[in-house]
Structure 1
Amino acid sequence: MKKNIFIACFLFFFVSCQHRKTESVRENVDMCINVDSLSQAKLKVKTLRYIPLEATEQSLIRNITKIVYVAHCYYIFDRIAKKIIVFSDTGKYLYSINKVGGGPGEYVEPVDMDVAPNGDIYVADNATKKIVKYSKDGLQFEEMKVGQYFLSFLLVDNSDFLLADIRSKGILDIALAKYKAGSDNFSIIEPYEHAMKRMIIRYTPHLFFRSETISYYYARFTPFLYAIDKNGNLKRIKLITDKLPTEEKLIEWENNKYGTFSPDGFICDVSACYEADDYILLVTISDFPLYTFVDRGNQKVCNFQSLGKDLNGHSGIKGVANDFFVSYCEPSQKNLQRIIDKSDLCEESRQQFLKLNQEANPILMLFNFKIQ
């Protein structure tokens, strides 16, 4: 997409009470991924596991917005219910964070969450422009005043964060920035070339995709992905495609009522980018999802229009756990019957699924792949 001269102008003009500076990581490209050509290879599910999530009064899930797996636990962010529910790696309910309110240690409108390696939970509250850190048991908290409206974040360490989709003076003008808690340091990494007054609807509820040793971020409407290591160092990945929206198309999408639109063959978002087992799995959204596998050894790229019949009922790639990609399915009668009919279920597991009904919690799906 053609870079406009006014970027430098609006970065100066939309200055808040915080100090902003820009830094560029666009000079180098560390990897290129072609997302336009379909592969003739065969994609097969190598292993598939199901984990039912225990349903109690405290652990009922209305919507799975995000899944983070840390230290043998699944942290599930339910944005509709405004809470985080924590389960063991076998699906047993452990505890939850449900701190809705306007007092200390509470949040009004949580938009994202992340988890530290020790199990501390961080929750972003867009309404109050802060991040709240909760101890592993949820009993202690610490508040970090960001002073910016933002929609997603990534914890780099206890005080360093990456923020995404930052809005100032009613304009969505910053795609990605670095922020250090307790200071005025605010470094812009990726501005929006097309600054927006109205949000163009997203196809992902969060913008950072955390794997075990690396995280990914997609700079929307550009050909660039960022790979972020544990120290916050960024590497740039370029998507090779002819399907990026034009400036005219972005204006058309932004002007549509309620921000809804038809992709019309253009890539309008990335809904997942995780690495597990042998592959990086990237999901780009156009008229239909495209699943791109990048071999972590030789960087060979294979594009598929489907993940296969074995994963019927899945709700998209939501995270990773060890060597598995993570998704979930609803406990519909059809999905439950499909699980029960799996020949490799032990009798104990079969009986466990036979007891479930459509009022149960969603069922986690763990899987990996092989490409032939």
Structure 2
Amino acid sequence: MRLIFFSFMAFLALTVTILLPSCSEGNNIDGSIPTVDLTGIQACVRPVVTKEIELKTDSPNPIGDITKLICLDSCFFIMDRLNQTVWKFNESGHLLGKLRKVGATLGEYVDLYDMDLLPDGDLYLMDLSMRKIIRYDSDSFNLVSEIKIPGTALAFSAVDSTKFVFNNAGDKDGININLGIFKTSANNIKPCISAKQKDEYLALGANTTHLWRSGNEIIYYDRFTPDFYLLTADSVLPYFSLLTEKIPTESQVENMIKATRGHDFSSAGMDGETIIDILYAYKNSVGLLFGLNTTPQQHIFQRFDNGKTYLLGTSDSPTVVGMMRGAVGVFGDSFVTVKLPSNDDENPSLILYSLDEI
């Protein structure tokens, strides 16, 4: 099958918009979406480094791990789950502040598990153990509010200060939801995309990185289908689907659930040939970059102007271990990856690169 992929603007013009309020009523998203044929990759393309940012901290304790990175204006916010810390740097790599409030009282967290940031400057952290979202001012890191989650969630994105999107979530009765909407005015999580079976997340593995932010837009990936969706402030758009003939059947999923039940969040029973696991998905004005959890890992770039699919070559520029890990965010029109330090007492660096020289 030849590649069928519309340019981004044409796709938005042709696609029926699904409003988030309709999702909050529990409707699943339907409709055909463009398909990316992974067998139709045109050629290899190598990243062009635009900048390397050495991160500088003011203490002998370096960044433990860049679990998540989100950019706001000229600043980088880094979630370091290993150290339960959020670091804030400017575009020169100088430390502007850090947040570490571990505890069980108001404004503190027991298990920092996910982070999001709105363009208005609000920083949101999710405490997995306490089932709450904590809102801070991103300049002062002062507490603004706490929001109790009426159920469970493994990842989230903030649509605005009163509306949140969860994936791998469960409502207060424990019903699994692939993608759900939570409004602070309600006391439940309404499904946008429901799981086909109870405990489906066990069969698919509880990967927490199915929501990725590129500026004001959020990309969501539903591994069971395997479909991508584009979330904006007021809509959920079917984005595209990966072409595969190996989508697991209902009976296969049921068998995988049985294999994993009793040890939650295990990858046991997963069939790599029937589940396409996406490591990340980010977009800029030129195209979409996403990573496949294959052996070896593959990093795919899809241009919007010509609809062609390219495989990233990682043998030379940038010659960093981070390219094998893939992108961790978008800064302006550059993708961001991590250059790992050579010593444990050093900080990682950020590599900004472009893919538009094709």
What range describes the TM-score normalised by the shorter chain of this pair?
Answer: 0.7 to 0.9
Alignment of 1:138-177 (within 5 A): 138-168=141-171, 173-177=176-180
Identify the range of structure 1 (359-368 vs 244-253) with the bigger mean alpha-carbon deviation: 244-253
Identify the range of structure 1 (144-153 vs 307-316) with the bigger mean alpha-carbon deviation: 307-316
Alignment of 1:17-166 (within 5 A): 21-29=25-33, 31-35=34-38, 37-57=39-59, 60-136=62-138, 137-166=140-169
Deviation at 1:142, TM superposition (A): 0.2
Deviation at 1:79, TM superposition (A): 1.4
Scaled by the length of structure 1, the TM-score of the pair is: 0.79
SS at match of 1:194: coil
- Note closer, same or farther for the CA distance 1:204–1:366 as it changes in structure 2 (3 Å cut): farther
SS at match of 1:108: coil
The number of aligned residues is 326
Deviation at 1:99, TM superposition (A): 1.2
1:266 alignment partner in structure 2: 274
Identify the range of structure 1 (214-223 vs 54-63) with the bigger mean alpha-carbon deviation: 54-63
CA distance in 2, matches of 1:240, 1:361: 39
SS at match of 2:196: strand
Alignment of 1:243-258 (within 5 A): 243-251=246-254, 253-254=256-257, 255-256=259-260
Match of 1:280 among 284, 288, 313: 288
Deviation at 1:320, TM superposition (A): 0.4
- Note closer, same or farther for the CA distance 1:232–1:106 as it changes in structure 2 (3 Å cut): farther
Deviation at 1:195, TM superposition (A): 2.7
Instruction: Name the % identity.
Output: 25
Alignment of 1:181-260 (within 5 A): 181-184=184-187, 186-196=189-199, 199=202, 205-251=208-254, 253-254=256-257, 255-256=259-260, 259-260=266-267
Alignment of 1:281-320 (within 5 A): 281-298=289-306, 300-304=307-311, 306-311=313-318, 312-314=320-322, 315-320=325-330
Contact 1:153 1:162 in 2 (8 A): yes
2:10 alignment partner in structure 1: none
CA distance in 1, matches of 2:172, 2:189: 17
CA distance in 2, matches of 1:251, 1:305: 35
Deviations 1:288-326 (A, max 9, x none): 43322221223x131426444223411321110001111
CA distance in 1, matches of 2:173, 2:183: 23
Identify the range of structure 1 (136-145 vs 42-51) with the bigger mean alpha-carbon deviation: 42-51
Alignment of 1:333-348 (within 5 A): none
- Note closer, same or farther for the CA distance 1:95–1:203 as it changes in structure 2 (3 Å cut): same
Structure 1: tracts of 5 or more residues without a match: 1-19, 333-356
- Note closer, same or farther for the CA distance 1:263–1:304 as it changes in structure 2 (3 Å cut): farther
- Note closer, same or farther for the CA distance 1:201–1:88 as it changes in structure 2 (3 Å cut): farther
1:6 alignment partner in structure 2: none
Deviations 1:199-220 (A, max 9, x none): 4575854321111242100012
Structure 2: tracts of 5 or more residues without a match: 1-23
CA RMSD, Structure 1 to Structure 2 (Å)? 2.6
CA distance in 1, matches of 2:148, 2:287: 37
Deviation at 1:238, TM superposition (A): 2.1
Contact 1:171 1:196 in 2 (8 A): no
Contact 1:203 1:285 in 2 (8 A): no
- Note closer, same or farther for the CA distance 1:125–1:45 as it changes in structure 2 (3 Å cut): same
CA distance in 2, matches of 1:182, 1:368: 42
Deviation at 1:89, TM superposition (A): 1.0
Contact 1:152 1:208 in 2 (8 A): yes
Deviations 1:235-270 (A, max 9, x none): 342222224344454445441567234654333421
- Note closer, same or farther for the CA distance 1:170–1:52 as it changes in structure 2 (3 Å cut): farther
Q: Which structure: larger Rg?
A: 1
CA distance in 2, matches of 1:214, 1:198: 25
Contact 1:43 1:370 in 2 (8 A): no
Deviation at 1:28, TM superposition (A): 4.3
CA distance in 2, matches of 1:118, 1:260: 38
Scaled by the length of structure 2, the TM-score of the pair is: 0.82
Deviation at 1:49, TM superposition (A): 2.1
Deviations 1:46-91 (A, max 9, x none): 3342111113328721111100011211111111221211111111
Instruction: Write the letter of the residue equivalent to 2:346.
Output: A
Instruction: Write the letter of the residue equivalent to 2:309.
Output: C
